[in-house]
Amino acid sequence: MTFFTFAQHLKKIEAVSARLEITRLLSQLFSELKIKEIPPAIYLSLGRLVPQYQSLEFQLSTKMILRALTKHLAHHPDIYGANGSMSNLFNETDESLYEERVNKLYKQTGDIGETTEQLLSLGDKEGLKPDLLEVYEQLVQIAKEGGTGSQERKIAGLIDLFEKLDSNSLRFIVRIIVGKLRLGFSTMTVLDALSWTKHNDKSESGKLEELFQKKADLGLLAQVYLDPQHNLKAVQKLYQISEGIPVMPALCQRLNSAEEIIAKMPKVIVEPKYDGLRIQIHLGKDKNSKKWVRSFTRNLEETSQMFPELNQALTKLDCVSCILDGEVVGVDKKTGKIVAFQETSTRRRKHGIAAKAEELPVRFYLFDVLEKNGQSLIDTPLSERKTILKQIVKADTDVFTTAPFIVTSDPEELHDYHTKQLALGLEGAVIKKHDSVYKSGRKGWRWVKIKEEEGTSGKLSDTLDCIVMGYYGGRGKRAAFGVGAFLVGLLGDDGKIYTLAKIGTGLTDEQFKELKKRLNKHEVKVKPKVYKVHKNLIPDGWIEPSFVVEIAADELTRSPVHSAGKALRFPRLVKFRDDKTWQEATTLKEMETIKIG
Ligand code: ATP
């Protein structure tokens, strides 16, 4: 497929918003791709170069793209000059003549894709049709440029693409580069579209989701699945859990009492609920039999570099290869005690890692094993997995330790254990069905949490993880922060985001500053398609669905202005949930399960 054709498909997808329509259009695209084009096409259509668990960023800002555009226009005065005639060739190669035009158009549109397309459309001509894979390779090359002079080399690479491609293709390319493709679909729609490509319906979406959860690489899965020689059975055989590619983590449901829990899942394993960062540790061997260790967050982000302590796994864990699930927490060097979440999260960083590791060491509390020596264990009962885990982590050390647990069928014992954990300063308990298989996500009654409300005597039994949708300018002291309040919401069943609260009090100066940093990064000019917002709540600035904040509130009340139909009473910010994507925020449905006492 040519990149031109690929971008024509993206254009069609961009123009629609109904999920079914997007599914159909995606499946049309998939059916026209050659097998080897499938992974790149999937990553690109999701605005990336590589699967989610890998990171390959362009490190090229909007400003740099505007600069590249200016240079390119100045290079072709015959096309882009004031009157586009050859007579002006000599006095129109001065870049400053184009800079204003480029910047002005960007200010007007607020969208780098639109700006690029509008500016470059004059240069469109027949024959600008390089191959999808060729362009993909060139983009990878641009992203990989590093070191001295790399910005200039990146710009040169981009200008080369300006020469080779049509303006519609470039509209999407520059958006991918700045990380703002936003075609309005996600993993589930891609899975639906895959099933659709083969069967004209979503009949295999569920099975595909299960496969994706075992090994979260959409491009790879699509490639195996769309191979005409593979039926579903063959795909299920071929597409197996493997070290180096994360498994989608299991998450908790909520239940409100020990009695309810024991009634639903009679025999349980109960562990402390640590308030740290979820971590999945992969131990494997490369082609030369050299061992490696990697780690991932619950959002599939690789964090191996952040935790030099992980290297101890190479000698301390007893296995050839394995995938372990756990929580990482910071440990106070003096007292040996676990530190609060906020402190642990200072270990999530790109710079100054060694010094920070020295100042705040971490401990990995391991609670599950999903694979050992090439054998998948996700269908093995939890009780057996616990034994295998213990064999891998032979002796607990300061760095690697198995999470303690009790086995019980007694609500009273469960209740006492939970209360004891709270008294110890932990977040409570996680309760897991004794002989359950490992299942990603929140479906079924396998993992459950009882969580005390956070610092409030109100009526909500848990905090809510909300999506930030917009902000309002501040007055007085807040004017200095550039934000006085912000609007948050939750995801509905229909994929739309509904407002639930406007929050303007209870933030420390530090939190306001933190908030502003994130707002700056994600502000967009127009209201995102998926937002449902009442006219009385229109904010001063829109924020694309991006970051998540944990909000505590006293209760839920009915609301005529909030599109969720409910509003939070006395909402306040607990923390930024950078470990969650907006798709993982609390849903409107889940909100209903957060009991109002
Ligand atoms: P919360 O806001 O309560 O942390 P959450 O929405 O992040 O909840 P849940 O599914 O409710 O996620 O809770 C599971 C999280 O709890 C895990 O992702 C993990 O980070 C953490 N956790 C701490 N201790 C355990 C444990 N023993 N077993 C499983 N998860 C644990």
Query: Could you tell me what percentage of the chain is helix, strand and coil, using 3-state DSSP and rounding each to the nearest 5?
Result: 40, 20, 40
- Adjacent-strand bridge partners of 486: 471, 503
Of the candidates 564, 539, 534, 540, which has an alpha carbon nearest to the alpha carbon of residue 466?
564
Question: How many angstroms is it from 273 CA to the middle of ligand 1?
Answer: 7
- The torsion of the CA quartet 584, 589, 591, 592, rounded to 10 degrees, works out to -160
CA distance 597 to 584: 25
The residue contributing the CA closest to ligand 1 atom 26 is: 273
Tell which atom from ligand 1 comes closest to the C-alpha of 254. Answer: 11
CA distance 371 to 378: 7
Q: State whether the beta carbon of 462 lies less than 6 angstroms from ligand 1.
A: no
Q: State whether the beta carbon of 278 lies less than 6 angstroms from ligand 1.
A: yes
The residue contributing the CA closest to ligand 1 atom 15 is: 251
pLDDT at 458: 38
pLDDT at 92: 65
pLDDT at 570: 84
Question: How many angstroms is it from 523 CA to the middle of ligand 1?
Answer: 30
CA distance 30 to 14: 16
327, 440, 573: which to mutate for ligand 1, most atoms within 8 A of CB? 327
Write out the DSSP string of 70-105: HHHHHH-HHHHSSS--GGGTTTS--THHHHHHHHHH
pLDDT over 80 at 128, yes or no? no
Helix (H) or strand (E) holding 521: helix 509-522
Instruction: Give all domains of the chain, ordered by start, each with its CATH number.
Output: 47-178 (1.10.3260.10), 253-450 (3.30.470.30), 464-591 (2.40.50.140)
- How confident is the model over 312-338, as a mean pLDDT? 95
471/84: higher pLDDT: 471
Q: Tokens 């780098």 — which residue?
A: 112
Residue 88: pLDDT band with limits 50, 70, 90: low
Question: How many angstroms is it from 535 CA to the middle of ligand 1?
Answer: 36
Q: State whether the beta carbon of 367 lies less than 6 angstroms from ligand 1.
A: yes
Tell which atom from ligand 1 comes closest to the C-alpha of 442. Answer: 10
- Beta-strand pair 400-402/362-372: parallel
- How confident is the model over 40-66, as a mean pLDDT? 95
Min mean pLDDT across 20-24, 136-140, 417-421, 505-509 is at 505-509
Question: How many angstroms is it from 252 CA to the middle of ligand 1?
Answer: 7
Q: Tokens 């982590």 — which residue?
A: 393
396 neighbors 346 (Cβ within 8 angstroms): no
Tell me the residue type at 304. S
- How confident is the model over 286-310, as a mean pLDDT? 95
Q: How far is CA 35 from the centre of its chain?
A: 26
247, 248, 251: which to mutate for ligand 1, most atoms within 8 A of CB? 251
pLDDT at 61: 92
Question: Encoding tokens for residue 460?
Answer: 């909500």
- Adjacent-strand bridge partners of 376: 371
Angle at 15 between CA 14 and CA 19, to 5 degrees: 75
- Beta-strand pair 497-503/531-532: parallel
DSSP 582: G
| Per-residue model confidence as pLDDT tens digits over 267-287 | 999 999 999 999 999 999 999
Residue 354: pLDDT band with limits 50, 70, 90: very high
Question: How many angstroms is it from 344 CA to the middle of ligand 1?
Answer: 15
Tell which atom from ligand 1 comes closest to the C-alpha of 275. Answer: 23
Q: State whether the beta carbon of 298 lies less than 6 angstroms from ligand 1.
A: yes
382 neighbors 435 (Cβ within 8 angstroms): yes
Question: How many angstroms is it from 253 CA to the middle of ligand 1?
Answer: 10
pLDDT at 520: 92
CA distance 377 to 138: 40
Q: State whether the beta carbon of 417 lies less than 6 angstroms from ligand 1.
A: no
339 neighbors 331 (Cβ within 8 angstroms): yes
Q: State whether the beta carbon of 579 lies less than 6 angstroms from ligand 1.
A: no
The residue contributing the CA closest to ligand 1 atom 25 is: 273
CA distance 534 to 482: 23
| Per-residue model confidence as pLDDT tens digits over 168-205 | 999 999 999 999 898 888 899 999 999 999 999 999 99
142/505: higher pLDDT: 142
pLDDT at 488: 97
Angle at 13 between CA 11 and CA 18, to 5 degrees: 150
Q: State whether the beta carbon of 252 lies less than 6 angstroms from ligand 1.
A: yes
The residue contributing the CA closest to ligand 1 atom 7 is: 580
Question: How many angstroms is it from 298 CA to the middle of ligand 1?
Answer: 10
pLDDT over 80 at 451, yes or no? no
| Per-residue model confidence as pLDDT tens digits over 225-282 | 999 999 999 999 999 999 999 999 999 988 878 888 999 999 999 999 999 999 999 9
152 neighbors 145 (Cβ within 8 angstroms): no
pLDDT over 70 at 35, yes or no? yes
Question: How many angstroms is it from 275 CA to the middle of ligand 1?
Answer: 8
CA distance 533 to 403: 44
- Adjacent-strand bridge partners of 470: 487, 542
pLDDT over 90 at 591, yes or no? no
pLDDT over 90 at 220, yes or no? yes
Write out the DSSP string of 235-301: HHHHS---TTSPPPPB--EE-S-HHHHHHHSSSEEEEE---SEEEEEEEEE-TTS-EEEEEE-TT--
Of the candidates 142, 144, 11, which has an alpha carbon nearest to the alpha carbon of residue 64?
142
423/162: higher pLDDT: 162
166/597: higher pLDDT: 166
CA distance 51 to 215: 11
pLDDT at 595: 56
Tell which atom from ligand 1 comes closest to the C-alpha of 272. Answer: 27
The residue contributing the CA closest to ligand 1 atom 13 is: 252
Assign 319 to helix, strand or coil: coil
273, 389, 549: which to mutate for ligand 1, most atoms within 8 A of CB? 273
Mean pLDDT of the chain: 91
CA distance 74 to 69: 9
- Adjacent-strand bridge partners of 291: 285
Q: What count of Cα atoms within 13 Å lies in the side-chain half-sphere of residue 585?
A: 30
Tell which atom from ligand 1 comes closest to the C-alpha of 278. Answer: 20
Tell which atom from ligand 1 comes closest to the C-alpha of 429. Answer: 27
Q: Over pLDDT 70: what percentage of the chain?
A: 95
Q: Over pLDDT 90: what percentage of the chain?
A: 74
Question: Encoding tokens for residue 305?
Answer: 């570099």
Residue 86: pLDDT band with limits 50, 70, 90: very low
Active site residue ranges? 273
Q: State whether the beta carbon of 145 lies less than 6 angstroms from ligand 1.
A: no
Give the torsion sign (CA, 179, 578, 530, 104): negative
Q: State whether the beta carbon of 48 lies less than 6 angstroms from ligand 1.
A: no
| Per-residue model confidence as pLDDT tens digits over 360-413 | 999 999 999 999 999 999 999 999 999 999 999 988 899 999 999 999 999 999
pLDDT at 579: 87
pLDDT at 456: 35
248, 252, 277, 466: which to mutate for ligand 1, most atoms within 8 A of CB? 252
Q: State whether the beta carbon of 327 lies less than 6 angstroms from ligand 1.
A: yes
pLDDT at 596: 55
Tell which atom from ligand 1 comes closest to the C-alpha of 403. Answer: 27
374 neighbors 321 (Cβ within 8 angstroms): yes
Min mean pLDDT across 439-443, 459-463, 492-496 is at 459-463
CA distance 125 to 165: 9
